[in-house]
C-alpha cells in the first residue's frame, strides 16, 4: 500500500469517528431536552401535579360520603332520636332484669309526740310554753329484749318504750339533769338495767 492511499484511509477513519461522535452528542442533547425532568424527580412530579377543579372536589367528597352510607341522606333530628332510643332501650333492659324493684322508704311518726314546755337553757327557763320535741342525743336497744328501746334527749331526759317503739314514756323526769349524752343496757341483770350518762358530750351550750 502506497503512502497516498494510507493517508486517505486515515483521513476517512477520522472523519467517520468525528461524525459518529457528533451524531451521538446531538442525539443525547435532543433526548435530554425532550425528557421531562420530573421523570427523574418524584418530588418535582408531585409538586407539578395539576390541582383539582371545583367539580372534581365535589365528586371526591361524594365518593368518600358514599363509603359512609351518607348518600341515602340523614333524617332530621337523627342524633336526638338516637339518644332517646338508647335511653329507652336502657330503661327497658333495667325493667326486664331480674333485680328487684327499689322501693322508697316510708316514714311514720311513732312518738314521742311534741310536748308543751318552756325553753330550758342550763336551768334558766325562757319565754312561754310552746310545743317542742327536742333533739335526740342517744338511742339504745335492749339486747336481751328487743321490745325495750330507750331514747335520750339533749335536754329532755330519758324515754322508754317496752312495746318496740309503739309508745314511749318519760322515766328520768325526777333526776337533777335532763341532759342525756349516752344510754346503755346492762344485760348482766334480769331484767336488763338501763344506764344513762348525763351531759351532752358534743360541746352543746343549751344543756
> Shortest CA distance to 182 belongs to which of 142, 150, 148, 145?
150
Phi/psi at 174 (5° precision): -85, -5
Chain CA centroid to CA 81, Å: 23
pTM value is: 0.39
User: For residues 117 and 132, what is the distance between their CA atoms, to the nearest angstrom?
Assistant: 7
> Shortest CA distance to 180 belongs to which of 162, 167, 194?
194
pLDDT one-digit tens code per residue, 60-74: 888 887 777 666 667
Q: Do the beta carbons of residue 165 and residue 185 sit within 8 Å?
A: no
Sketch the domain layout of the chain as residue ranges.
3-35, 115-198
pLDDT one-digit tens code per residue, 80-94: 888 999 999 988 887
| pLDDT (tens place) for every residue of the chain, 207 residues total | 544 444 444 455 556 666 666 666 765 666 555 555 545 555 555 556 678 898 998 888 888 877 776 666 677 787 788 899 999 998 888 777 766 667 778 888 776 677 787 776 666 777 888 887 678 889 999 999 999 999 998 888 999 999 999 999 999 988 988 889 999 999 999 999 999 999 876 665 554
Q: Count Cα neighbours of 179 within 13 Å in the Cβ-side half-sphere.
A: 14
Amino acid at each position: 500500500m502506497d503512502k497516498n492511499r494510507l493517508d486517505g484511509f486515515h483521513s476517512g477513519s477520522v472523519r467517520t469517528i468525528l461524525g459518529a461522535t457528533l451524531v451521538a452528542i446531538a442525539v443525547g442533547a435532543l433526548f435530554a431536552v425532550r425528557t421531562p425532568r420530573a421523570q427523574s424527580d418524584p418530588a418535582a412530579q408531585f409538586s407539578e401535579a395539576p390541582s383539582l377543579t371545583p367539580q372534581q372536589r365535589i365528586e371526591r367528597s361524594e365518593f368518600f360520603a358514599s363509603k359512609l352510607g351518607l348518600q341515602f341522606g340523614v333524617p332530621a333530628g337523627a342524633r336526638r332520636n338516637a339518644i332517646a332510643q338508647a335511653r329507652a332501650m336502657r330503661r327497658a333492659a333495667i325493667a326486664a332484669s331480674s333485680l328487684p324493684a327499689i322501693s322508697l322508704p316510708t316514714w311514720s311518726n311513732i312518738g314521742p309526740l311534741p310536748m308543751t314546755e318552756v325553753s330550758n337553757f342550763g336551768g334558766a327557763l325562757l319565754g312561754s310554753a310552746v310545743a317542742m320535741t327536742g333533739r335526740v342525743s342517744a338511742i339504745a336497744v335492749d339486747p336481751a329484749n328487743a321490745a325495750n328501746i330507750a331514747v335520750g334527749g339533749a335536754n329532755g331526759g330519758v324515754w322508754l318504750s317496752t312495746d318496740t317503739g309503739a309508745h314511749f314514756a318519760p322515766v328520768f323526769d325526777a333526776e337533777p339533769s335532763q341532759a342525756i349524752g349516752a344510754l346503755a343496757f346492762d344485760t348482766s341483770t334480769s331484767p336488763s338495767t338501763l344506764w344513762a350518762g348525763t351531759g351532752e358530750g358534743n360541746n352543746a351550750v343549751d344543756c
